[in-house]
């Protein structure tokens, strides 16, 4: 009996430890009197990850800039190129350049790129006056620009003018119905207004046009989960596993949905996908190991009275022991003070 589900394809992409760009699109930031739906500076660069070397370089440069050691423009460029979110720093250091005539003039055409970057950062930080100033400069330079139009709509969102923002996006979509960023903004507005059903409807329409957008499938799955629509969420994770079979996150999420749905067959399948997660992570995913223990316990309980030759049922105790040993080893190394607690819990599961 194989524990690991068959791999239907090979994808060299690695799991990104960066925030999901689709999630970032729907972050709600609370201020004293207003609620703002912030935008993302990381819409593309899909499936790439910030390496430890890049992160170290960015942090070192940030410290240098904060201490007045120069390199402000290089830092802003690196933030932009890596698609990371350092809004407060971008606002502070970007504004220092834009407010200095000599420094601003030295940028040449990059002045407008910086205006856009600072505008987005300012909306993140609820500095709407700064954002509006940057957008006005861009409007003057690029009248009628659709890219500037998106920023204008974002500013309406930041001000809480949801209806006007929706109208602005609808108008932009008439001119370019394949603008992915605008489709996602409309989903984000629905989420901000607490209307997940509308967000689901919009996402399904979006996926009819852009079926290969992994972030959208993942977002749709999480929306379904928020409404306890587990079978629909499972379908989304199946799509993700088919397209990116080497991403452990999707195997783990799918396993947890199957376990939540329940029933012997679903829990047996869940155990396989937990095992796949363990396999893909080199045995380092403690959550998946605990999932195997939970599945083994559930299968043993649900299989009482069934055929004793049932391989899935008879294998459960052995699998529980193997997974439990791996969990205890991990706790012994990294959290020895919690070892006794986890060992007791695992023994209870086995009984």
| Residue 314, pLDDT score | 60
Domain chopping of the chain, boundaries:
245-351
Kindly compute the dihedral angle of the four CA atoms of residues 51, 56, 57, 63, in this order, to the nearest 10 degrees: 150
Taking only the tens place, the pLDDT of each residue in 155-185 is 999 999 999 999 999 999 999 999 999 999 9
Residue percentage of the chain with pLDDT more than 70: 82
pLDDT band per the 50, 70, 90 thresholds, residue 274:
very high
In 162-247, alpha helices (H): 162-175, 180-192, 196-209, 214-226, 230-243
Rg (CA), the chain: 24
Residue 10's φ and ψ, nearest 5 degrees, are -120, 125
pLDDT at 217 over 50: yes
Cα separation values, 52 from 99, 101, 197, 247, Å: 33, 36, 39, 19
Angle at 57 between CA 53 and CA 63, to 5 degrees: 145
Which is more confident, 48 or 160? 160
Taking only the tens place, the pLDDT of each residue in 61-84 is 999 999 999 999 999 999 999 999
Taking only the tens place, the pLDDT of each residue in 221-247 is 999 999 999 999 999 999 999 999 999
Detail the DSSP E strand segments found in 213-331. none
Report how far residue 78's alpha carbon sits from residue 72's, in angstroms, rounded to the nearest whole number.
10
Taking only the tens place, the pLDDT of each residue in 313-340 is 566 678 888 999 999 999 999 999 999 9
Half-sphere exposure of 145 (CA within 13 A, CB side): 16
H or E stretch covering 28: strand 28-30
Taking only the tens place, the pLDDT of each residue in 105-142 is 999 999 999 999 999 999 999 999 999 999 999 999 99
Average predicted confidence (pLDDT) for the chain: 85
| Residue 318, pLDDT score | 81
């Amino acid at each position: 009996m194989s524990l690991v589900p068959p791999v239907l394809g090979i994808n060299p992409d690695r799991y990104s430890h960066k925030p999901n760009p689709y999630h970032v699109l729907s972050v709600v930031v609370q201020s004293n009197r207003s609620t703002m739906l912030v935008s993302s500076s990381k819409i593309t660069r899909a499936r790439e990850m910030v390496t430890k070397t890049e992160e170290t370089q960015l942090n070192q440069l940030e410290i240098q800039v904060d201490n007045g050691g120069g390199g402000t423009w290089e830092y802003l460029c690196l933030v932009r190129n890596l698609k990371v979110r350092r809004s407060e720093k971008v606002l502070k250091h970007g504004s220092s350049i834009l407010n200095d005539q000599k420094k601003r003039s030295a940028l040449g055409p990059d002045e407008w790129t910086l205006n856009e970057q600072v505008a987005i950062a300012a909306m993140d930080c609820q500095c709407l006056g700064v954002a509006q100033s940057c957008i006005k400069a861009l409007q003057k330079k690029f009248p009628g620009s659709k890219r500037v139009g998106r920023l204008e709509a974002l500013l309406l969102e930041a001000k809480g003018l949801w209806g006007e923002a929706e109208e602005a996006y609808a108008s932009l979509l008439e001119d370019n119905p394949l603008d992915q960023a605008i489709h996602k903004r409309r989903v984000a507005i629905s989420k901000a207004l607490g209307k997940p059903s509308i967000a689901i409807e919009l996402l399904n329409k979006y996926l009819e046009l852009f079926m290969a957008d992994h972030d959208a499938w993942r977002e749709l799955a999480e929306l379904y989960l928020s409404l306890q629509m587990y079978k629909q969420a499972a379908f989304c994770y199946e799509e993700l596993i088919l397209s990116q079979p080497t991403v452990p996150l999707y195997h783990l999420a799918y396993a947890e949905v199957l376990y939540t749905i329940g029933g012997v067959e679903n829990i047996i399948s869940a155990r396989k996908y937990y095992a796949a997660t363990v396999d893909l992570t080199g045995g380092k995913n403690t959550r998946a190991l605990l999932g195997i223990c939970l599945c083994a316990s559930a299968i043993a309980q649900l299989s009482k009275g069934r055929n004793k030759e049932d391989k899935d049922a008879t294998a459960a105790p052995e699998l529980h022991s193997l997974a439990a040993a791996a969990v205890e080893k991990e706790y012994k190394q990294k959290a020895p003070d919690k070892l006794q607690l986890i060992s007791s819990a695992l023994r209870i599961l086995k009984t």
